[in-house]
Amino acid sequence: MGNVGASEVPQLIGPDGLRIDGRRVDELRALRVVAGPLKRADGSAFVEWGANKVMAAVYGPREVHPRHLQVNDKAIVQCRYNMAAFSVDERKRPGLDRRSQEISKVIAEAFESVVFAEEFPRTSIDVYIEVLQANAGTRCAGIVAASVALADAGIPMVDLLPSVAVGKVGGHIVLDLKKEEDNFGEADLPMALVPQSGRLVLLQMEGHMTASELGRALDLGVTGCRAIYEKMKQALRDRYSVDPPQAMAEAAA
């Protein structure tokens, strides 16, 4: 939410009910998910979502660094979310600021609740999220990328974690806020869903909405997450399904 006077707030929803980029209130930005683009990581994924570009890499289960964080009966999940200095219009100071630390922590906690950590005692599963281009919703894009990267690394999990931000913009409840909507809207509410159980493992909120608006926003977010989930699964299918003629040619070679 920006600190601007009411007179400076642009009209975010037009008289036709459409948003500044022409989307309906319940419409996602274009989303492309690619599994496994990095060869050196144990698992990786790239997400292009509207004007966001986010890469995730996963290493592990591997030895814990720093050693004192090691837990005897389970793996820990460590996450580093980072925004590149060139990812935003005004150069961002490189390095971990408080915002990045907070986002890294909530993402690690979300994954800790879905990874079968007991299967890998005394190890660390390390998740790196690099935001290369940012246009709001980068923590959600990071969670989507990291989920697919974890699956690509073969880490056993309850489920993938689709994630999206919902919010209140120009008095309307909207799905998947872009930068101007995040800056000038009334509320921004990122969430991450375990699709099979319907459990939310990340829910944050900036701004204000009423209890009934919150209910509608959550419903909209869950529907959005389910659509995103399909794209995540498709990215993994695209990476791992080999069509029969190609498999035969590879076997013969």
Positions touching ligand UDP (CB under 6 A) are 88, 92, 99, 134-139, 165, 179, 182, 188, 190
Q: Which is nearer to ligand UDP, 43 or 137 (CB)?
A: 137
Which residue has tokens 């990874």? 115
Q: Which is nearer to ligand UDP, 40 or 93 (CB)?
A: 93
Q: In a 3-state reduction of DSSP, which class is residue 82?
A: strand
CB of 97 to ligand UDP, least distance (A): 7
For residues 92-123, one letter each, b for 16 or more C-beta atoms within 10 angstroms of the residue's C-beta and e for the rest, the string is: beeeeeeebeebbebbbebbbbbbebeebeeb
CB of 141 to ligand UDP, least distance (A): 8
Q: Which is nearer to ligand UDP, 52 or 124 (CB)?
A: 52
CB of 159 to ligand UDP, least distance (A): 21
- Phi, psi dihedral angles at 77 (to 5 degrees): -110, 120
CB of 10 to ligand UDP, least distance (A): 16
Q: Which is nearer to ligand UDP, 25 or 158 (CB)?
A: 25
The two tokens of residue 58 are: 């996963």
Question: Could you report how far apart the first and last alpha carbons of the chain are, in Å?
Answer: 58
Q: Which is nearer to ligand UDP, 108 or 134 (CB)?
A: 134
Which whole-number Å values give the CA distances from 110 to 75, 115, 152, in the listed order? 14, 9, 18
13 - beta bridge partners?
Answer: 19
DSSP of 133-174, one letter per residue?
A: E-SS-HHHHHHHHHHHHHHHTT--BSS---EEEEEEETTEEE
Q: Which is nearer to ligand UDP, 60 or 137 (CB)?
A: 137
Euclidean distance between CA atoms 39 and 124, whole angstroms: 20
CB of 177 to ligand UDP, least distance (A): 7
CB of 129 to ligand UDP, least distance (A): 11
